Structure 1
Amino acid sequence: MLQALCSLIVTASCLTATLTWTTNASAASPGQPVVARVEMKFATGEEIVDVIAKGDLLTVVEDRGDDYVIVTHDGTRGAVDKVNAVELAESTAIYTELIEEFPNEGRYYTLRASAWWALGKEEKALEDFNTAIEKGYKEAHAYSSRGLFMAARGKHAEAIEDYDRALKIDPDDITPLINRAAVHMGQGEYEKAISDYSDALEVRKNNAALLRQRAIAYKAAGKLDKAIADFDTIVDADAEDVAAIMGRGYIRFQQQEFAAAAADFSAALELNEEDPVAWNNRGYNRYQLGKAEQALADYNHAIELAPNYALAHQNRAWLLATVQDESLRDPQAAIQSAEKACEINSYGNIGDLSALAAAYAAAGNFKDAVGWQEKVVEIAPPDVKTFAEKMLTRYRNEKPYIADPVAAEKAEREAAEAAAAAEAEKKNAAAIREAAAKLEAESKLKSKANANGEVESP
């Protein structure tokens, strides 16, 4: 790809055509496609290095006000006036003109289909995708594009069928392979997704984006060690890949390797100290390591950076309500943090509501703790409803939150049984002493009577 910008030559015949167009009211952002309104040529000196045909898709690199810096399909980098390019959603008229001029060129139907899709006119998009293939446009791109459309509409089987066709036509193009993997991920078929990403990585060795996607698939499949290995490969090649470091840290947290996870989030913060998620995540792992004071500082910093970061407020509430260190425990501040989290999430997040109930219980306000915990029980999914109900019972019994209510119940039961046994033993010992004393008193009386010559009646 040329590093310097090529000069632009617009052909005279096309220049006349552009006079009827007006400059875009909106502008495309970097990474978005725009469509050429006219034929344009890029040249370095006297040499033509690339030709942009009317209707070609160009990728925006930079918006410079009156023009775009773009990259062509072949990798040529240059600048085009905005008057000569239009966003995809505004390009249907261009492709309609091309279809009228070249009615049997299926490629233009595929391109117009993408424009209809960008406009949200799905039925017209599907009609054009199908027409392109009916017109004999059997390139891999025709099926791959329709596959993307089908996947977006939730028609996963049709999407995979189109991707399969595209791969048969052009096995060297891994784009349909990657797109098919994404569909498999959406369907929860993680092993198939892993297989597709692995095949794509055979072509693009150690590609960071593909490794990251495969790591996510491994994570979803429960193969955490393999996910870690993919993130390791990314970080080994680029020690400043924050996304990979963060992803690895989260998996290490799932593996309960809290020290390693905290180290990853610390590394991420060295690269970007303005990331509230990294602060929150490091705080959570520090708390698991028993570093409550440092965890609280991390939560506070996350909230400073993102005042409406609900999860950081929720985590802060849990810490302040349940921490063992009494110098840090602050039930009233916990209530405030939990209420803030609830407000941000419109009182619809079960974690926020649970934290609010626990905070009220920590403050000794069991009436409100019960009220909020009842709401938790109402919305709790089956896998957490039993726990939620146990916590509701604790609050009704005016007992504070505890992470393991089953163990707590067992310990309380065993303590009660031990206390009852001790009390029974105490009473038994007292009874034995009383009986012994009685026997001793009776024995003394009998001895005294014998000494006085008294005879015991038969």
Structure 2
Amino acid sequence: MIRLILILLSVWLVFSSAVPVMASQPPNLTPEQFQQLDELAQKALSATESGDFAIAETYWTQIIEKFPDNPAALSNRGNARVSQNKLEAAIADYNEAIELAPSATDPYLNRGAALEGLGKWEEAIADYNHVLELDPNDAMAYNNRGNAEAGLGKWEEAIADYHKSTEIAPNFAFARANYALALYQTGKTAEAIRTMRNIVRKYPSFADMRAALTAVLWEQGKHGEAESNWVAAVGLDQRYKDINWVAHVRRWPPLMVAALEKFQELK
């Protein structure tokens, strides 16, 4: 999972988790130029929210052409490129953003996610480690490092990082979901199911955990409950019908993928 960087428009477009707002007018810009930049930023964010990542990339590029030394715009364009699977191009953007803003965490975090997409787990972990050096309480960095450790088959390390992520951010549902999936992979079935049930109880529209419960309950012979969760899961997100997507994009652990595949074959 990639953290999108929303922006404030001032002398630079700076990193922020807030909704972009108007700041003081940058020097050497006319009011018309300032308004144009603000409009481009709003269009880029709107395109991102609607899933039009190619259009968002175009808007970020226009901003970068006006402010070529703008780290946040570069990192946001990298996010748009990752969403189109342009991973190498995205990494190039993150590299530039890091050169311009070496103490900002988001470009490292986002570059790590892109490196994961290329299967470069150790390089991704190095980026997440650096994020945690800059901010020891970054819940996303712990979650993402867990994902990269899972890519290396280091499941106990992944479990520890997922758990740490949820300690920092108790409402970070995906970190808790990843924790449950990793528990199942390591044979901690009862704890995994209990965690999955708790997540679904709190977030009944969470398709990922509905699909996970489908797989594990089917294996336990609880076919009626499994079917009920499956109807809910695919009603929320049809992608869980695609085992290839579950295995290689969502990246469930191997035992969870096998359990879901068995359900789909036998139901």
Query: Which category describes the TM-score, using the shorter chain as reference length?
Result: 0.5 to 0.7
Match of 1:154 among 54, 68, 73: 54
* AA in 1 matched with 2:128: F
Quote the residue 1:282 is aligned against. 179
Q: Does 1:189 align with 2:86?
A: yes
Quote the residue 1:108 is aligned against. 32
Quote the residue 1:254 is aligned against. 151
CA drift of 1:233 comes to 1.0
Structure 1 residues without counterparts, runs of 5 or longer: 1-29, 35-56, 59-71, 75-104, 121-143, 323-328, 355-383, 396-400, 402-458
* CA deviations over 1:172-191 (Å, ceiling 9, x no partner): 44345334434543443322
* CA deviations over 1:365-390 (Å, ceiling 9, x no partner): xxxxxxxxxxxxxxxxxxx9xx979x
For 1:161 and 1:271, how far apart are their aligned partners in 2? 35
CA drift of 1:199 comes to 2.2
For 1:284 and 1:220, how far apart are their aligned partners in 2? 19
Q: Does 1:316 align with 2:240?
A: no
- Alpha carbons of structure 1 residues 308 and 155: separation in structure 2 relative to 1, 3 Å: closer
For 1:215 and 1:269, how far apart are their aligned partners in 2? 20
Secondary structure of 1:293's match? helix
Choose between structure 1 and 2: higher helix proportion: 2
For 1:310 and 1:198, how far apart are their aligned partners in 2? 34
Quote the residue 1:44 is aligned against. none
* CA deviations over 1:124-149 (Å, ceiling 9, x no partner): xxxxxxxxxxxxxxxxxxxx9xxx9x
Match of 1:270 among 153, 167, 175: 167
Do the aligned partners of 1:302 and 1:312 also contact (CA within 8 Å) in 2?
A: yes
Secondary structure of 1:266's match? helix
Do the aligned partners of 1:211 and 1:230 also contact (CA within 8 Å) in 2?
A: yes
For 2:18 and 2:115, how far apart are their aligned partners in 1? 28
Give the length in aligned residue pairs. Answer: 229
For 1:116 and 1:205, how far apart are their aligned partners in 2? 25
CA drift of 1:227 comes to 1.0
Match of 2:238 among 330, 338, 349: 349
* CA deviations over 1:93-114 (Å, ceiling 9, x no partner): xxxxxxxxxxxx9642661685
Q: Does 1:200 align with 2:97?
A: yes
Fraction of identical pairs, as percent: 19
Q: Does 1:177 align with 2:101?
A: no
Pairing 1:390-409 to 2, within 5 Å after superposition: 392=265, 395=266
Secondary structure of 2:149's match? helix
Pairing 1:212-223 to 2, within 5 Å after superposition: 212-223=109-120
Secondary structure of 1:273's match? coil
Match of 1:234 among 120, 125, 131: 131
CA drift of 1:288 comes to 0.7
- Alpha carbons of structure 1 residues 163 and 283: separation in structure 2 relative to 1, 3 Å: same
Q: Which runs of structure 1 show a deviation greater than 6 angstroms over 4 or more consecutive aligned residues?
A: none
Choose between structure 1 and 2: higher strand proportion: 1
TM-score (norm 1): 0.42
Pairing 1:68-79 to 2, within 5 Å after superposition: 72=24
Q: Does 1:303 align with 2:203?
A: no
Quote the residue 2:108 is aligned against. 211
Quote the residue 1:31 is aligned against. 18
For 2:206 and 2:224, how far apart are their aligned partners in 1? 16
For 2:197 and 2:124, how far apart are their aligned partners in 1? 31
Quote the residue 1:291 is aligned against. 188
Do the aligned partners of 1:313 and 1:340 also contact (CA within 8 Å) in 2?
A: yes
CA drift of 1:226 comes to 0.9
- Alpha carbons of structure 1 residues 233 and 73: separation in structure 2 relative to 1, 3 Å: farther
* AA in 2 matched with 1:301: N
Pairing 1:8-19 to 2, within 5 Å after superposition: none
For 2:55 and 2:171, how far apart are their aligned partners in 1? 40
For 2:60 and 2:139, how far apart are their aligned partners in 1? 32
Quote the residue 2:253 is aligned against. none
Structure ranking higher on relative contact order (CA contacts 8 Å, 6+ apart):
2
Quote the residue 1:369 is aligned against. none
TM-score (norm 2): 0.68
For 1:202 and 1:116, how far apart are their aligned partners in 2? 24
For 2:53 and 2:171, how far apart are their aligned partners in 1? 37
Q: Which structure is larger by alpha-carbon Rg, 1 or 2? A: 1
For 2:113 and 2:127, how far apart are their aligned partners in 1? 9
For 1:228 and 1:113, how far apart are their aligned partners in 2? 35
Q: Does 1:166 align with 2:90?
A: no
* CA deviations over 1:48-93 (Å, ceiling 9, x no partner): xxxxxxxxx33xxxxxxxxxxxxx457xxxxxxxxxxxxxxxxxxx
For 2:111 and 2:162, how far apart are their aligned partners in 1? 21
- Alpha carbons of structure 1 residues 347 and 339: separation in structure 2 relative to 1, 3 Å: farther
